Amino acid sequence: MDILLQVAVILICLFYGARKGGVALGLLGGIGIVIMTFVFGLPPGKPPVDVMLTIIAVVAASATLQASGGLEVLLMGAEKVLRRNPKYVSILAPFTTCLLTILCGTGHVVYTMLPIIYDVAIKNNIRPERPMAASSIASQMGILASPVSVAVVALVAFLAKAPVGDHVIDFVQVLSITVPSTLAGVLMIGIFSWFRGKDLDKDPEFQARIADPEQRKNIYGTSDTLMGKTLTSSQWTAMWIFIGAIVVVSILGAYPALRPLVGGKPLSMVLCIQMFMLLAGALMIMFTKTDPSIIGKTEVFRAGMIAVVAVFGIAWMADTVFEANLPALKAALTDLVKTQPWTYAIALLLVSKLVNSQAAAVSAMVPVGLAIGVPPGYVVAFAAASYGYYILPTYPSDLAAIQFDRSGTTHIGKYVINHSFILPGLIGVGTSCLVGFLLADVYGLI
């Protein structure tokens, strides 16, 4: 009975914290910790310190990239691709936003691209909902394919403690599954989006809007573009430093022999990521004219620090409850997760919606899943299920897509759940989980 009450407390904290948004999600975990320790008498669990430190290192480097203007180099390159191939914007745009997320480790880079995607679509008489909704979803899916994202770092850190026989699913093997499965999901989203909705010339609602000269002017408007902007050498330098750090991290992950030995084993990839991200940030400051005081004011830094607090509170609260009740949970759920491991993916998806964060969902559910007997191979295969916050259109990137689409085609339906993002989200995540499962099977992890 106590465990049901404890789980109820977790759910209440998650739900209320998610509604309040921002740092509140992590702080509500503090209420849960106090209740578990002082009311139920549970010993406090362990917060994921390694994960939190890695988040800080990655966010510091990414925020320095944004502050230095190096991010604009990547964004301008993405815009060139879209404007040269406007007919294929419904497929190219989601791949563009996904790739930017993979490089930067955060889906928040999508905000600058959304007005550009809208402009390319509307000026070529393509229903803006098609690339806009797809791009918002793809930008978040890219998190599971990024070597410097918080969610991937957390996943690798937890899997390091759960070997499959004598083998540990390492950084490279995780990415060898999540990268192709993510790209497969994004491709399916693009194909679906190519055909979704009515063409603008056959959409009576859109035609009624542009019948009003004022609305027509607002809908077609002026172009939002980065094209023609002069990039400085320091912006290029910052971009190459950041990309170089990612390449080095990837090489070290692929070739453990290149890492120094610590206690007879190659240096942990978690520590390697922390070191080289801090190094990248330092080099960007040294070799560009970046003002360090701007770094802490960037959108990337703000969002990243919120993620740190969220992971801290949520993971600590969840670890306290599940560690204390581990024997009972194993007895009750081991048979279920062994015979029907897909139930773990459903649980992960629902928790992700509650916490509105893939990193927080991974931090809360992966240790629990591994502890109750979910095979590590399934944890990697179904990693994409940690993105479920498209189910309700409350995430900032989705709301931004609706706001930037002045045509009104990207929308929230009458029943809320029937919005522009639900089908691309289900198709993308579903495809990624299926491909992830097949790849994990091929690699002998299942």
User: What DSSP letter does each residue of 355-417 carry, written as one string?
Assistant: HT-HHHHHHHHHHHHHHTT--HHHHHHTGGGG--TTTTTTSHHHHHHHHH-TTS-S---TTSS
Residue pair 445/197 in contact (Cβ under 8 Å)? The answer is no
Q: If you average pLDDT over each of 228-237, 305-314, 324-333, which comes out highest?
A: 228-237
pLDDT at 184 over 90: yes
Which residue has better confidence, 405 or 430? 430
Over residues 244-264, mean pLDDT: 85
pLDDT band at 415 (very low <50, low <70, confident <90, very high): confident
Q: Which of 62-76, 240-254, 363-377, 390-404 has the lowest mean pLDDT?
A: 390-404
For the chain, the C-alpha Rg in angstroms (whole number) is 22
Which alpha helices (DSSP H) does 325-357 contain, by range?
A: 326-339, 342-355
pLDDT at 231 over 80: yes
- Give the tens place of pLDDT for each residue, 64-83: 988 998 888 888 888 888 88
CA distance 103 to 58: 11
The dihedrals phi and psi of 79, each to the nearest 5 degrees, come to -65, -40
Residue pair 173/160 in contact (Cβ under 8 Å)? The answer is no
pLDDT at 193 over 80: yes
Over residues 350-373, mean pLDDT: 81
CA distance 139 to 185: 12
Structure tokens at 301: 């830094």
Q: Which distant-in-sequence residues (6+ apart) come within 8 Å of 70 by Cβ? A: 235, 236, 237, 238, 239, 241, 242, 284, 288
Q: Which of 10-24, 45-59, 119-133, 391-405 has the lowest mean pLDDT?
A: 10-24
CA distance 132 to 404: 9
CA distance 403 to 153: 32
The pLDDT value recorded for residue 86 is 87
From residue 68, alpha-carbon distances to 63, 164, 244, 260, 301 in Å are 9, 42, 16, 32, 13
Residue 263: exposed, middle, or buried by beta-carbon count in 10 A (0-12, 13-18, 19+)?
exposed
Structure tokens at 172: 């490279």
Residue pair 378/341 in contact (Cβ under 8 Å)? The answer is yes
Structure tokens at 261: 């030995």
**How many helical (H) and strand (E) elements, i.e. helices and strands, does the chain have?**
21, 2
